[in-house]
Amino acid sequence: MDFLAATHNVGKRDEIQRILEHLGIRVLIDREVGVRLREPEENGTTFEENAAIKAKAAVEDSGMPCIADDSGLVVDALGGRPGVYTARYGGEELPFPQKIEMLLGEMDGVPEEKRTARFVSAVVCAFPDGRTITVRGECEGIIGFMPYGEGGFGFDPIFYYHGKSFASLPPDEKDAVSHRGSALRLLVQELENMLDS
């Protein structure tokens, strides 16, 4: 069974694929199925609302079951920012190394015990018949003082979980603890229930 990931981020698609593949689901991106997904306006106020906007638009554009994730970094010392604006933090065109520099600049002088943060992921799976599944995962950690690691994407180099940055974890270790991994495992449960019925 083929599902479309409502993302252009191949790293994100690969994470989804690794967790769903045992269900016999193949996760593709738009260019692999010959469709062009529009970029709907993500004007929701929650991760769940934005994921639903993306999933439903992708179903309309493709006619396929679609999985959309809206995820972000919630930093306590910054009052929860960047939150739902994580991808747009500092401007949509600003590359992530510069976003990381900017965030570390905002955190300058914040001691380790106050650098608590969490990654949040809301995943919505939408079907052409109108059914949807919504799940949420979170991972608690801290914002490091400097980036570390070559893997992952986004803010992974400065998000530390049990002393290791997400960017330094092998993919299977990251999947086991990450916000997206948690949400996708919940999605697997929901899909299994749906397929059984």
The pTM is what?
0.89
- What's residue 164's pLDDT? 96
Closest CA to 106 of 163, 114, 152: 114
pLDDT recorded at residue 194: 82
What average pLDDT does range 106-123 have in this prediction? Answer: 97
Token pair for 1 = 């069974």
pLDDT number for residue 63 = 95
**Residue 39: pLDDT above 80?**
yes
Average pLDDT over residues 80-104: 94
Q: Which fold has domain 2-196?
A: Maf protein (3.90.950)
The residues assigned a catalytic role are 70
- Which residue type, as a one-letter code, is found at position 163? G
Compute the radius of gyration of the chain from its Cα atoms: 17
User: CA-CA distance, 88 to 74, in Å (whole number)?
Assistant: 14
pLDDT of residue 196: 75
Tens of pLDDT, residue by residue over 122-172, are: 999 999 999 999 999 999 999 999 999 998 889 999 999 999 999 999 988
The DSSP annotation for 68-108 comes to EEEEEEEEGGGTT-BGGGGGGTT-TTS-HHHHHHHHHHHTT
Q: What is the mean pLDDT of residues 71-100?
A: 94
